[in-house]
Chains A and B, each alone.
Chain A
Amino acid sequence: SQELEQSPQSLIVQEGKNLTINCTSSKTLYGLYWYKQKYGEGLIFLMMLQKGGEEKSHEKITAKLDEKKQQSSLHITASQPSHAGIYLCGADGGTSYGKLTFGQGTILTVHP
């Protein structure tokens, strides 16, 4: 079965700083999804990557899938308190009929 390892497990930054969260897979990534979760709430979809080398951006968040398709990174530029939360990567395994396997999450705290 596919396993996803996220690093770091937690991150504390000052407002305005850049940061990167990594997601490493035990198997080739086909569909890689990034979600954000506020404490006590559900997951909010951020971005989805499919192709090796693909990069997508939304506002100040950029996600990349490396060429070998076994690692993805999420980069936040000029962080704001609104970016705080838990970031989760999920993979669909290629032929898993939609279900996602998730990493353990990265807790991001942004101090004003």
Chain B
Amino acid sequence: EAGVAQSPRYKIIEKRQSVAFWCNPISGHATLYWYQQILGQGPKLLIQFQNNGVVDDSQLPKDRFSAERLKGVDSTLKIQPAKLEDSAVYLCASSFTGSGISGANVLTFGAGSRLTVL
């Protein structure tokens, strides 16, 4: 099966500019996640979608970050305006369910989009 697709792989922008990342999950996966991974740290969840609804966006900096998952398939994460501290790898992941069944929900990750803010 095809994996989780992300684009672009790399993006360099100046601070205060905007950027958008795109993710296409594995076909049939209802749950989609966006994680931020700063160099030297583990991934941190930004937002979780179940189909086209938001399950958890408690750690999303909503003054500058936004995400949508129209039609419950692919998703876009936007940053506007970008700050230096937004330099990170943005990882998209998907899973078949997000049903709360502990231990039964393997996340499949994309290759990530590396953002550098100058």
Interface, chain A (partner B; CB < 8 A): 4, 30-33, 35, 40-45, 48-50, 88, 90, 92-105
Contact = CB atoms under 8 A, between A and B. Distances in A.
Interface stretch (B12-20, B70-78, B79-87, B110-118): B110-118
Interface size class of B (residues with CB under 8 A): 20 to 34
B88 to A, nearest CB: 13
Contacts of A44: 109
Main SS class of interface, B: loop
B103 A31 contact: yes
B106 A33 contact: yes
B91 A43 contact: yes
Nearest to A6: B42
Main SS class of interface, A: loop
B105 A41 contact: no
B105 A92 contact: yes
B72 to A, nearest CB: 15
